[in-house]
Amino acid sequence: MTEQLNLKEYIKFYIKPWRSKQRNMAIIAPFKGLTYNYYVRNDFSKMVAPPYDVISSEEQESFYQLDPYNVIRLILAKKKTGDSDWDNRYTRSADFFRRWESAGILIRSNEPCLYITSLSYDPGDGLPKRTRWGIIALARIEDPDSGVILPHEKTFSAHKDDRLKLMRACEAQVSQIFGLYEDSQDIVMSECKKALDFQPQIDFDTQDGTSHRMWILRRPDIFKLVTEAMAEKSIFIADGHHRYETARNYRNIMRSRHGRLDPQRSYEFVMTYLSNMNDKGLTILPSHRLIKRAQNFDLTAFLKKAEGWFNIEKLELPDSELPVKSRFLKVRLEQAGKSDTVIAFVHADYKDCYLMTLKKGGSDDMGEDLHPSQKKLDVLVLSRLILQKSLGFQKDDLDNEEIFHYLSSTEKTLDQVFSGDYEMSFLLNPTKIDHVKEIADNSLVMPRKSTFFYPKILSGLVFNKIDPNETIQIP
């Protein structure tokens, strides 16, 4: 047998024998998605937006002004004075959605499709452009203990309540979750690419220079190969944990209303962007922590306490412009963090930076409630040993958005501190993909904002209507 199997051989020799022995499988299916009408519109950059949870109020307004059909009106409609149970941001989103479909602004495919996407982007630091490939499809929603779709981050009720209200009003999924699967030989995507012998229906660049392309694939033979190949894989949720749990909550509501009539009813599935975790275009950015205020902070006392767990090095930043300072700190943090947990600390009142390297055995004091795999995570080392034990924050404080803020950019983080907008910051290296997988494999979760998979998946590429009477056909 050749070293590089094609997808049919892969299914014959590995997946079909495996499926005969297993019960829980990932169920992936094509679907009749809605897209903006690409026959009459080609300015897609004006209609898409990032995920709702990374959009500020200022950005929300700018997307409103960008185009009257921008997806912001669906994913993050404005609140109004006098909102009521029958007229609110969710009902207005639903009204836009239905009117746009009736007017032909949105068009629905008359047959199931897979949506193949590529995005080419600048990863920064002078590195060449990268391209990440993905498939937008439906994934059957799983119960938490199935071991098929695996989360890795903590979720919060308020966010899930918000998304559930939107889903119930629109009877649709207006944004996809971001899932990763393991495919070291890139067999699944390679087969999909072979079928892309036509121009993408959607092709545009965003203001940051990222190039987005999407092919609408109508090939039942490819659907069957992809569905069977994905059956033996677990799906790790990279982004969209709240949207996934919301889809499961919606499914449970629909089951209560209609009964468990058919495991292939449309509400049993969630729209998912799937990417190979071995894709060379996959980038994870750090999630630096900024702190608005820390009561009674004293630098000397803080460093003395932290020395119980860390070797601390005072690092003088270059007397240069902010980009130079940022680059210098980022390189030092990366170099020091190749084999150890290293966290950088900056404070608005001090010009120097401190590199804090975890001592051997330092993680022993993180708590007996943590699994060994969790103690490897820089974000949990920061949370337990620095924020809680050294600075005195309570566990509930860490989820207080009036105190904590998160940024992936080292330069922006330093600017926020040195300008005095935030009192201090702790800068981290990105979480490694192997750690994400290990956490999910052990059915564990990370603190919120542990990973930042970049670039985010845009909202507005495709939507999924949920008709309780509609059945999803599994190839």
Q: How many domains does the chain have?
A: 2
Cβ burial, residue 460 (10 Å; 0-12/13-18/19+):
buried
Whether 142 maps to a domain, the answer reads yes
Whether 443 maps to a domain, the answer reads no
Asked if 160 and 32 sit in the same domain, the reply is yes
Asked if 318 and 222 sit in the same domain, the reply is no
Residue 118: beta bridge partners? 133, 213
Strands 310-315 and 452-454: unpaired
Residue 355 confidence (pLDDT): 96
Compute the C-alpha angle 162/167/168, nearest 5°.
100
Q: Shortest CA distance to 460 belongs to which of 79, 166, 94, 72?
A: 72
Asked if 279 and 400 sit in the same domain, the reply is no
Q: Shortest CA distance to 136 belongs to which of 177, 106, 165?
A: 177
Residues 189, 230: Cα–Cα separation, whole Å: 11
Residue 117 confidence (pLDDT): 98
Asked if 296 and 268 sit in the same domain, the reply is no
- Residue-number span of the structural domain to which 318 is assigned: 287-429
Asked if 272 and 379 sit in the same domain, the reply is no
Q: Shortest CA distance to 176 belongs to which of 432, 471, 466, 462?
A: 462
Whether 1 maps to a domain, the answer reads no
Asked if 142 and 214 sit in the same domain, the reply is yes
Q: Any idea what DSSP says for residue 265?
A: B
Strands 177-181 and 269-276: parallel
Q: Shortest CA distance to 178 belongs to which of 455, 441, 437?
A: 455
Asked if 164 and 253 sit in the same domain, the reply is yes
Whether 437 maps to a domain, the answer reads no
pLDDT tens, N- to C-terminus, the chain (475 residues): 334 456 555 445 444 444 434 447 899 999 999 999 999 988 999 999 999 988 989 999 999 999 999 999 999 999 999 889 999 999 999 999 999 999 999 999 999 999 999 999 998 766 789 999 999 999 999 988 888 898 877 777 778 899 999 999 999 999 999 999 999 889 999 999 999 999 999 999 998 899 999 999 999 999 999 999 999 888 999 899 899 999 999 999 999 998 776 789 999 999 999 999 999 999 999 999 999 999 889 999 999 999 999 999 999 999 889 999 999 999 999 999 988 899 999 999 998 899 999 999 999 999 888 999 889 999 999 999 999 999 999 988 888 888 999 999 999 999 999 999 999 999 999 998 888 888 877 877 787 788 888 888 999 999 999 999 999 999 8
Residue 125 confidence (pLDDT): 67
